[in-house]
């Protein structure tokens, strides 16, 4: 049985959220939301989720029900849940080029898109996202080429990307290339969507580079940057086994894409090249500079530390990573960081300090009510 939840305050509509069996009544719910948005002036938030998405459940459990989020949404946002694997949800996911979950797309009653957001966010951060979207609406900053047509004539290979999990089909590169070669323009919504979701040939890439400012205003910077990111990854993979001078010659070319924090991106690719090729002295020098310049995230350091714990056989190399892990653990109360540091210490033979940090991680994990079995297994492995 369907349930319609509508909350009113002083006769003003605050939050709209319908859940139906299978959630395949999304188009009907969106129509109802648009009618209410037309009267209230509120933004509609399309919340794309799937049944198997863990971070979607975390958003539903922690972020959306929080007092600060509910308070802001009550007078600004109309929430429409979208099961991205339902029949109607798939078409919406295709239209808005949804590639991961949760994804939030913000539209008004005319289906003008004012922005989007991807991934789990803590309540305070999510309120900032909502405020930014409302600010875009107030300034009339919407993406000019995203139409109000919900079901677009996408090619079959594009549609298959949006099949249910486990049944998705990703087109071969030659299929995409042949389809794009027949297009007369790259600006229309269908063609741009295909380019935003696939690796594209150099001809189309050069077009996007030359027209990036206009395309960003038409479809949003995130979609244009997605095209650039795939191109950069392809170029980087081709250089991974090449001499270092060739990589350094390539790095300045990243500026043509106008990525946010382009310098940080160049340094990231350099560090990963050095890491991949086991050029340890250069790698740790670059990492030290990045820490000093605050151009490397604790998450990247932690991920590298964990890779060393799992894969690196040279204990001297692992020991060189310990000071970096010590720094991020001293400055961050994070279970994953503490667990990684403990694992690396134990692997390097520092049993006493390793057990101390493993126990710290366990206590922290218990206080946060998260899984601590990894740290417990560490103590079993290194008694």
Beta strands in 131-222 (DSSP E): none
For 157, the enclosing helix (H) or strand (E) is helix 156-160
- Catalytic residue, candidates 56, 318, 329, 348: 56
The pair of three-digit structure tokens given for residue 180, joined into one six-digit string: 């794009």
- Residue 56 is among the residues annotated as catalytic for this protein: yes
- Residue 329 is among the residues annotated as catalytic for this protein: no
Instruction: Reduce the DSSP state of residue 116 to 3 states and report it.
Output: strand
For 272, the enclosing helix (H) or strand (E) is helix 262-276
> What's the DSSP call for residue 63?
I
As a whole number of angstroms, the distance between CA 201 and CA 43 comes to 37
The pair of three-digit structure tokens given for residue 86, joined into one six-digit string: 């339902």
User: What angle, 0 to 180 degrees and rounded to 10, lies between the N-to-C axes of helices 335-347 and 373-381?
Assistant: 10
Judge whether 353 and 345 are in contact, CB under 8 Å.
yes
Cβ neighbour number for residue 342 with a 10 Å cutoff: 29
Residues serving a catalytic function are 53, 56
């Amino acid at each position: 049985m369907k349930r319609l939840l509508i909350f009113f305050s002083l006769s003003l509509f605050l939050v709209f959220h319908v859940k139906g069996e299978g959630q395949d009544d999304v188009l009907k719910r969106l129509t109802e939301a648009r009618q209410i948005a037309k009267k209230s002036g509120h933004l509609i938030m399309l919340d794309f989720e799937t049944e198997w998405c863990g971070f979607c459940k975390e958003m539903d459990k922690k972020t959306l029900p929080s007092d600060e989020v509910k308070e802001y949404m009550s007078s600004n946002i109309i929430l429409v849940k979208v099961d991205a694997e339902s029949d109607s949800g798939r078409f919406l996911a295709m239209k808005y080029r949804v590639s991961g979950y949760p994804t939030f797309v913000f539209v008004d009653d005319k289906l003008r898109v004012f922005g989007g957001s991807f991934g789990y966010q803590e309540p305070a951060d999510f309120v900032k996202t909502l405020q930014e979207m409302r600010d875009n609406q107030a300034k009339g900053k919407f993406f000019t080429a995203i139409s109000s047509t919900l079901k677009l004539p996408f090619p079959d290979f594009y549609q298959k990307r949006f099949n249910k999990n486990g049944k998705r089909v990703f087109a071969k590169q030659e299929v995409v290339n042949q389809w794009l070669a027949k297009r007369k323009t790259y600006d229309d919504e269908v063609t741009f969507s295909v380019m935003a979701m696939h690796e594209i040939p150099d001809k189309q890439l050069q077009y996007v580079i030359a027209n990036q400012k206009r395309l960003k205003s038409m479809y949003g910077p995130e979609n244009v940057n997605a095209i650039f990111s795939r191109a950069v990854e392809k170029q980087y993979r081709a250089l991974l086994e090449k001499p270092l001078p060739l990589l350094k010659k390539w790095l300045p070319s990243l500026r043509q894409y106008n990525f946010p924090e382009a310098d940080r991106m160049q340094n990231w690719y350099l560090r990963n090249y050095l890491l991949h090729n086991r050029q340890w002295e250069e790698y740790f020098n670059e990492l030290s500079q990045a820490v000093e310049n605050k151009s490397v995230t604790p998450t990247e350091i932690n991920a590298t530390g964990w890779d060393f714990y799992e894969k690196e056989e040279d204990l001297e190399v692992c020991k060189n990573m310990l000071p970096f892990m010590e720094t991020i653990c001293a400055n961050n109360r994070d279970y994953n960081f503490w667990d990684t540091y403990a694992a690396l210490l134990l692997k390097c033979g520092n049993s006493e300090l390793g057990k101390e940090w493993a126990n710290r991680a366990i206590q922290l994990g218990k206080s946060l009510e998260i899984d601590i079995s990894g740290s417990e297994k560490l103590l079993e492995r290194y008694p």
